[in-house]
Every structure is written in C-alpha cells, then in structure tokens.
Structure 1
Amino acid sequence: MAVGGTVLAVHLSLQQPATPRTTTADTARPQQPGAESPAPIDERDVAALAPRRVKVTADRGALVELAWVLPARARDYPVVVQRSPVEEGEQPVTALDQGATSTRLAGLDPGTGYCFLVGVPLRISEDSTVAWSEPACIRGAKARPTRR
C-alpha cells in the first residue's frame, strides 16, 4: 500500500485542487484497475463525495492534527490531504487509507501558516477527478481562491 499511496500522492500533487470536471453519470464509483473507459463522473457526485467540516483539532507547531467528516458513499475511497505551502522537494499530498477521517501531519515549520484540503480521489489518470473539501487554514494563512 505504501508504494500505491506514494504514486497516488505524486500524481495528485500535480493536479489542481477543487476543479471538478463536468460530465454526466448516475453515480461515482471507485475506478476498477484495468477498466478501459471509466464512466464519467457528474459534478454533483463530486460535490456529494467531498469531505466536510475539515478542522484543525490541534496545532503543536511542527505537528498538526486534522479531522473531517466523510459522506457515507465516500468511505469506499482512499483519502488524501494536500497542504500549502510546501518547500521545494517536499510532497504536498499525503495519501491516507480508505475512509480515513483524521490524520497527523508532522514536519511543519512552526512559524509558517498553512492551508489544508482533504480530498477523495474518484479517478486517477491524466484527467484525475478529486472531490476536495473546503480549506482549513492555520496561523493566519489564507486559502487561494478555487474554481468550482
């Protein structure tokens, strides 16, 4: 799982957060390995699967704890956390287990403000679709405007 999570994190770090693609489908489903052409994912499904109520539950300087609520259907998907800013060479996305509702992020600069997004990857490809949460920011950081 560590290798798969690393590949997922690297791929997602290249993606723009909160930019769902508008297509049509009845429901979003986890993509099956080897599937030739996955069903399109409707923008309403993306919004329905996005993590909710993301909050920083503890800020200990170099260590931050986050918690969020996942919609029931989103529990069938892996979860990722994106942080901003990141230093050159650092990985901005952390891959978590399927259905995760909290995490600890270590190695942060205690003097820097950060924003965090929690996402549910619905499709990982050149045209990835991730259901992103609203940002949770600390230490005076301001989230970049996102396109929805």
Structure 2
Amino acid sequence: MAVVGTVAVAGMALAVFLLPQRNPPPVTAQPSATQDDQPIGEQEVAALTPRGLKVTADQGALVELRWSLPAGARRYPVVLQRSPAKQGEQPITALTQGATSARVAGLDPRTGYCFLVGVPLAFSERSTVAWSKPTCIRGAVARPTQ
C-alpha cells in the first residue's frame, strides 16, 4: 500500500509517494534537538547537489533529461522543475528516489524551457533543496538565483 504525503518545496505543494519498506530500519531514540531544528549547511547542500544536468533528446513535445547524483544524494527523493509551466500545471514533478533521468512530455514545441533537478533535504517552513544548475532549450534563459 502506497502512502501519499503532501509537502511544500520552495512554496509549491508537492505530492510525494512513499512506498512501505519490507524491513524498515529500527527506530532509535533521538537527542532532544532534532535535525529539523538545525539548518542544513551550505557544504552539505553542495555535496548533495545533482550535477551535469543535460538534455539528451529534444523531440518537440517530449524532452529527455539526464544528470548524475552524488552517492549520498541517492537516498533522497528527486524533483524536477520546469519553467515555464502552463496555467494550472505544477512546475515541480516528484521523481523516484535516486532518479538520474526523466522524460518530460506535453511541452509546446515552439516554447523555450529551463529545467532544474533537485534533492529535497528538509521539508519545513524553510525547506532546503539542493538544486542543480539549470539547463535550457530553444533559446530560453534561466533567471538568476538570489
């Protein structure tokens, strides 16, 4: 039985499908301060950032993407962000844990797009996502990050 959870990533609602584990790890007592209380450091984010995002095929309405993940990032879920998104579409798509490729369908062949791949590291009011560098197609230009 799959469990669906909704989380916020960079202000966007995102449904994440969690599959039960056959042999879940044992639960151990945690110190009074949890990791959620402490911000994730820039070095940890950089160490888990997807790398080498590239378009491997552009077939107009369908684009294929590929990237690599550092070993430590393979235990996290992966998300794909597309810009622009049509009215009513979600710009962020949940992928499987450790994913290193994706196919994006339903694109307008006359429109330029930019893509980012991210590894969500914390879900809270201050969500932390290790985002790749953007890759763009058809003349689109990524907006600078803050």
- The whole-number CA distance in structure 2 between the counterparts of 1:41 and 1:13 is 15
Aligned with residue 12 of structure 1, among 2, 9, 12: 9
Match of 1:87 in 2: 86
**Greater relative contact order structure (CA < 8 Å, 6+ sep):** 1
- The whole-number CA distance in structure 2 between the counterparts of 1:101 and 1:134 is 15
- Which amino acid letter does the alignment assign opposite residue 3 of structure 1? V
- The whole-number CA distance in structure 1 between the counterparts of 2:57 and 2:105 is 12
Give me the TM-score of the superposition, normalised by structure 2: 0.79
Match of 2:68 in 1: 69
- Which amino acid letter does the alignment assign opposite residue 90 of structure 1? E
> Greater CA radius of gyration, 1 or 2?
2
Higher strand share: 2
Aligned identity (percent) is: 66
Is the counterpart of residue 119 in structure 1 residue 118 in structure 2? Answer: yes
- The whole-number CA distance in structure 1 between the counterparts of 2:10 and 2:61 is 21
- The whole-number CA distance in structure 2 between the counterparts of 1:3 and 1:113 is 32
**Structure 1 stretches of 5 or more lacking a match?**
16-31
Aligned Cα RMSD in Å? 2.0
The alignment of Structure 1 onto Structure 2 pairs a total of residues equal to 125
Higher helix share: 1
Give secondary structure in 2 for the equivalent of 1:100: coil
Give me the TM-score of the superposition, normalised by structure 1: 0.78
1:99-110 superposed matches below 5 A: 99-110=98-109
**Structure 2 stretches of 5 or more lacking a match?**
13-26
Match of 2:17 in 1: none
Q: Which runs of 4+ in 1 moved over 6 A?
A: none
Match of 2:4 in 1: 3
Give secondary structure in 2 for the equivalent of 1:3: strand
